[in-house]
């Protein structure tokens, strides 16, 4: 599935992924290929991207995610540098 992560300042990530784990407002959840359509708010926490056998983590400060037709769009408030 295609993942796009965007902040108000820039596009942070764009590419094919196998799974994404989000810090939801009500707890952590994961999206895999062919996931049902959904929109969810995100809280502050780790966003984990799995692609090509590798794992990448970003820390976001809230936002919104939309999942539709194997495309995941994340509108993040900001990326927290650690």
Closest C-alpha to 35, from 54, 52, 22: 22
Taking only the tens place, the pLDDT of each residue in 17-26 is 999 999 998 8
Closest C-alpha to 14, from 27, 33, 1: 1
Residue ranges of the chain whose pLDDT lies below 50: none
What is d(CA 16, CA 80) in angstroms, rounded to the nearest whole number?
23
CB 62 within 8 A of CB 44: yes
Q: CATH number of the domain that 69 lies in?
A: 2.60.15.10
| pTM as predicted | 0.93
| Number of structural domains in the chain | 1
Tell me, what's the pLDDT at 70? 97
Helix, strand, coil percentages in the chain from 3-state DSSP, rounded to 5: 0, 75, 25
CA 57 to chain centre: 10
Provide the domain limits for residue 7: 2-80
């Amino acid at each position: 599935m295609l993942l796009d992560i965007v902040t108000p300042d820039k596009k942070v990530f764009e590419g094919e992924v196998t799974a994404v784990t989000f810090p939801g407002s009500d707890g952590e959840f994961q999206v895999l290929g062919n996931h049902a359509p959904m929109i969810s708010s995100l809280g502050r926490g780790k966003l984990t991207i799995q692609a090509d056998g590798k794992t990448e983590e970003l820390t976001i400060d809230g936002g919104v995610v939309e999942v539709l037709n194997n495309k995941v769009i994340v509108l993040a408030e900001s990326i927290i540098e650690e």
